[in-house]
Structure 1
């Protein structure tokens, strides 16, 4: 016979029975109760929310804000959503932006929410249709400016104007003074005044424009003012609906750390980033500058007054417009490949050098082959990264002076194993003494190495190639003989060699890719690459070699 075990969760009773009279006790109870209710573990939600409402004034705003963020995605019940919705906008925003409730719950809650909370809900696009209609019905009230305490009875004012403007006819002493509201002068004057008011202020019977009806053309700048809490109270230059009542850094108005840090110190804000969500003319990225304002009597901080403008192209955080969509994917691929390839190369080098202990010769030979393959793969990865940076206009080139003679000697030494593999011979003519190139050393070296490795890998056994460096006015020219394998490919046809199999030692990404990359790099450096019948000619700006002296003009 089985035994039925009943478990009773008394967590809520335990929390409700705790001491909440002290600030510490109230904060502790607030955290526990919001967690129990928000995660569906409270047996009596109504009693828990009532207790939360009673101790809310004793709980600091940062604690309430942290609780709101912790339950935002935990599907809190409607009573808890309403509790947070009644709070300050920065506290209500996380819950109101994510809560999923039935239409009946929203309809019961919306009339009890403050205007700022209803503004937060208007930015959602997933609310039930009935809730959206309910929010629209409160538009005129939510967007109305606060009125002065002194109330004026419009009917009395109009009546007084009628009395004042109407023509007065002579009467007897005992007759009451007549008022002729139909007099032509009085009616014409009132109609003219009403027409002028509607012309200047708009038709009072016209419903307020919805956010979705805002102009599609983005605004370029606007001015704004906030109160001491960072809530925007006044704007000029953009539609008011997306911004009025919004707090900087909460809901649809996001800011960077510059604004947050300046706000804590009550310091000026200079060229900070602000992003407005939605589809209005105020939506998008802004550069914000503002100065703090202080009360002239007591010196108390009263808010910020500032201006916002659209950022320039060099100030934007997103990729440069016009970059190919594949460029970012290539750079991500480079990042993913470079790290493991470096690790494989390093481990192979350790085996080859017997750092981890004695290794058989066959293992060391295999490790050397792996290291050579990974070096070729790393070269290909660097080429892909360079091509992606060129597509995004993100290639960093550092000006410098590179001596041609030692660079050619280093390139020939690096490519000596490839020359032995292909059985080719390369003759170097390093040009006049002191010949140099003005440009980025890494980019220039990459161009020269790729061109030399390209022609050597395409050469045949016994073939002899010549590399000649020369000066042509203000230009350094490097002429590289075309191998016999390129004889059938005149002119720019060499750029179509990506899929050709050129045998062992061929360029990993294809000859065409290497040539196109070399040409684009040369153009970035202020030169070019020409494909002639007998040779490939690389031209780059000539420069001063400080070790030898100024280049000759001959």
Structure 2
């Protein structure tokens, strides 16, 4: 979409709709380039199209950058997003200064925002009451009634759900500009008056409030029990005895868990069996009277006509002091096992991406334009590099969890280094450097794939750190302790990191290794240890030691 044609009105609207849909439904992240494109073309997108896009993502939980984009638009476009967006308190507080008073008034009507956001909204009270320069006079009857009800409230005449800042905003919005009229004659008690009187009364109200201190809104009463019903999908559709907003839409199935609420596996397991359950744990976030811990019980309901499952009917109560209500969490495996699972989940779609890109590049399904073939080649290349990084993560996880299976074998190093140098030829050409291989050959013992992986990652990391014209020499020697030492020249770019400090290099320069130089060197060192050897980092060289292959007949290393 970012590469689509923006030269026609249809192309602009198409890109706007699809980018908003992809980002708003969190199918792609709100990247800097994507958001910059939306901001650049917003003025060229008709208002009805922008309004329709805002309504389309109203309940899709759009991310904060997209919420900001809509919130700063026309108020008719901002309202659908502002009244349903779910942001964190810091994200709301960062957004508030960039909103118009009208947009902030929409947020004041929400009751699901946290106390920090409410306090931040209250701090904009005087700013939101600044009237346009064109407003010089106002209707006496409307403004006097609105401001009077704020500054001098009568008992029983206030809306209990409207705080002071809301009523002041309502009063300011009630003032309507009118055409200037003549001042009333002395002694007359009706007719228009100067807006300065309204401003003076508002200033007096705020001075009184600052002296007396802000009036904290009363905390909602704590509900102790409620009843609920769900539909056939386990989603709560009816609630009695507590605020509905925190519970409507919550699913008893963990696979459909709603934000701001947690339900443990008792209810989820019972739902999948269409069975009753008792004292399942539930936790609800927020500041409503439903917030906190609950124990819920429910029975399944079936249609008497056909026996079809129609949902649950249940009750909820607060836990006693001797009970716990937080969801039970099953302990997960070690971090290394979790990383291996993540690697497995990443490898499958990456292989699919590389495969489809290759099909496009080779035109297996039909003719493809050259520009798309070039991009398919880039995708395939990037996917191949990503697969290499995924393999490195898998190898590191296997080493950390003692799950690396090695099969001893005899491996000749000179042919292996020559093949690695051929594979690194494009990178050597890009860096402008070269590899000088040794003439002699030695044989080590170890798993063939592990030795190949070790040497390839080590050489690729050093070549990536090389500079134009640099020569990376490789020397091999048989040591007296029946080990083979492979010494590789250290690139000049790593000279500023003495000793093992090079293992902690952050990937902050022109580093061609996807996971960083430090990670690759640590992986090489750990893999060398798994093979019974070591990796020593010296001032001018990196020395890799591996066990030499020994013949049983003569007891001599070869």
Normalization by structure 2: what TM-score?
A: 0.40
Structure of larger gyration radius: 1
TM-score (norm 1): 0.41
